[in-house]
Amino acid sequence: MQTAQRILRGYRRRRLIVCIALAVLALLLTLSARYVAERNINEQRVLAFNQRVIGTLENILIPLEQANKDIVPLVGIPCQAAQLKMSEYAARLQTVRSIGLIKDDILYCSSIFGSRAVPVNLLQPRLPSALPLLFLTIDHSLLKGSPILLSWIPSANSSHDGVMQIINIELLTGLILEPERPWVSRAVLNVADSHLEYGKGLLQQISVEAGMVSHQIASERFAFSVMTIGPSPGALALSNLPTQLPLALILSMLIGYITWLATANRMSFSWEINVGLASREFEVFCQPLVSARNLQCVGVELLLRWNNPRQGWISPDVFIPLAEQQNLIAPLTRFVLEETVSYLDIFPKSRDFHIGLNVAASHFHEGEIIADLRRSWFPAHAPQKLTLELTERDALPDVDHRVVRDLQSMGVELAIDDFGTGQSSLAYLETLNPNVLKIDKSFTAAIGTDAVNSTVTDIIIALAQRLGIDLVAEGVETPQQADYLRSHGVNVLQGYLYARPMPLSEFPRWLRGNNMPPPRHNGHPIPVIPLR
């Protein structure tokens, strides 16, 4: 059996778990999304750096191709005739340091020095070559020891003749290979088997430090590539992730708060009751009322039981007060009323037989109870008498007295349940004019004792007799209690002495002589729980 505190704590705990889980999930997803986005941005920045370097160098080398076509025919022409034209090309191209003409393996003309007679292999051991070459090397003529990019174009007729163009690559590296931190820590130009790194000069081998990664892109037009070295985009994104944490925390807390609001109905007792009604988890029980004079059944009190598959049996003392707090007591009452109408044939068809239905005071507002009775009870033309039982724990003075009068004019009786336990006031006995007072089981249990409640029981009996109100004693469990109540003029008794609450379907068998309902119902044990 569940308690109200345990059930409510369970709902709050589940809501809290869901909210925390979604908040944590939102935090992880936000950080993950930021991580992926930052990593992609880092990758794009490295790629853009490489592409910019590639594009810049290609834009420098493309004009050299056209210049080579114009200069190669000059090979073999006397230097005095060719130097001026070579100087014009060198000046126009700007990045070209010098142009040299080679004939029979001899550098015989330079755009800077004019006529020369130097074996070219003394200056550059790779030359001459039958194939075009592009490679990094060291300058041995003008700025000795400085890196240069050398372009060799052989003549079509001889591998010993050709044009040599020297590009001032050291100046270019300061413009295009300067690293962009933190994405690029090092930038290297690779031509053939040589490497030129910004700030380090010409290298024969490139090493990548631990924790760093390299990215390399080759030119599609010329024989060179660019390598960048730096932190991996993922590691860099991860290192920047703490800066995203405040925003992610705010977003996750917002998601958690929205979830808390959104689950207020979905994960609440009101939702549980609505699910129970929709799934027909509730069942109407009844407890017989017997005549104190001849022990004949003169009526029943309808009781609602809830076998919740998620919580187990939930006591009416738990779910009815909670339903009242959630303004769901009226739907429960309608359910009991509709179920009772469908079982009317099991009850004695007599106007002297009373069917008692517990109703909350809030159900009387604006005649809501009358509308419900007109919808289900009155169209059934029930021969039995309906008694609406208001518990004294409700705010009875707030009951609409006009609705009470209308009900009594329709033949519906009014009973005050648990009389003497709540907001006792003799004034509303007159204003409500109840037909029945039901003595609470706590007073019945005090009979035969010296407790104050025993005296109160006598006072309630005397009061009802003085006002002409019928009495029903609840909680009769011993013959001594029954004898005392009978001797003091209480005509109707209700309690375990005569019958426990039973499903409506079991009432006919009890009425035929069985005093107790079967110990199990629908394969489940019927719990011993309070009447309400």
Concatenating the DSSP letter of every residue in 109-129 gives EETTTEEEEEEHHHH-TT-S-
pLDDT at 426: 67
CA 290/CA 409 separation, integer angstroms: 26
How many structural domains compose the chain? 1
Structure tokens at 421: 């336990």
Which amino acid type is present at position 76?
G
CA distances, 364 to each of 200, 385, 509 (Å): 93, 19, 35
pLDDT at 289: 95
pLDDT at 193: 85
Kindly report the CATH number assigned to the domain that includes residue 439. 3.20.20.450
Structure tokens at 52: 């910019």
CA angle 103, 105, 110 (to 5 degrees): 60
Q: How many residues can be counted in the chain? A: 532
pLDDT at 198: 83
pLDDT at 520: 44
CA distances, 192 to each of 73, 100, 102, 222 (Å): 27, 21, 22, 11
Do residues 123 and 148 touch, judged by C-beta distance below 8 A? no
CA 81/CA 297 separation, integer angstroms: 138
Residue 457 lies in a domain: yes
Helix (H, G, I), strand (E, B) or coil at 313: strand
pLDDT at 425: 54
| Neighbour count for residue 352 (Cβ, 10 Å) | 12
Residue 178 lies in a domain: no
Do residues 458 and 488 touch, judged by C-beta distance below 8 A? yes
Residue 194 lies in a domain: no
CA dihedral sign, ordered 389, 392, 393, 398: positive
Name the residue with tokens 């950080």.
31
Do residues 528 and 496 touch, judged by C-beta distance below 8 A? no
Compute and round to an integer the Cα radius of gyration of the chain.
Answer: 50
Which amino acid type is present at position 384?
Q
Name the residue with tokens 């104050």.
452
How many Å separate Cα 113 from the centre of its chain?
78
Residue 295 lies in a domain: yes
Kindly give the interhelix angle for 329-342 and 316-325, rounded to the nearest 10 degrees: 120
Domain assignment of residue 364, given as a range: 287-301+336-500
Per-residue pLDDT of the chain (532 residues; tens, 9 = 90+): 455 556 666 667 777 888 899 999 999 999 999 999 999 999 999 999 999 999 988 888 888 888 888 899 999 999 998 998 888 888 888 788 889 999 999 999 999 889 999 999 988 889 999 999 999 988 877 777 788 899 999 998 788 999 999 888 877 777 788 888 888 999 999 998 889 988 888 888 888 888 899 999 999 989 899 999 999 998 889 988 888 889 889 999 998 888 877 766 554 566 677 777 888 889 999 999 999 989 999 999 999 998 877 777 777 877 887 777 777 888 899 999 999 999 999 999 999 999 999 998 888 887 899 999 999 999 999 999 999 998 755 556 567 778 888 898 999 999 988 877 765 556 667 778 889 999 988 888 888 776 666 788 888 899 889 888 999 999 999 999 999 999 999 999 999 999 999 999 999 999 988 544 444 445 444 443 333 4
Residue 411 lies in a domain: yes
Phi, psi of 511 (to 5 degrees): -65, -25
pLDDT at 152: 92
| Neighbour count for residue 357 (Cβ, 10 Å) | 22
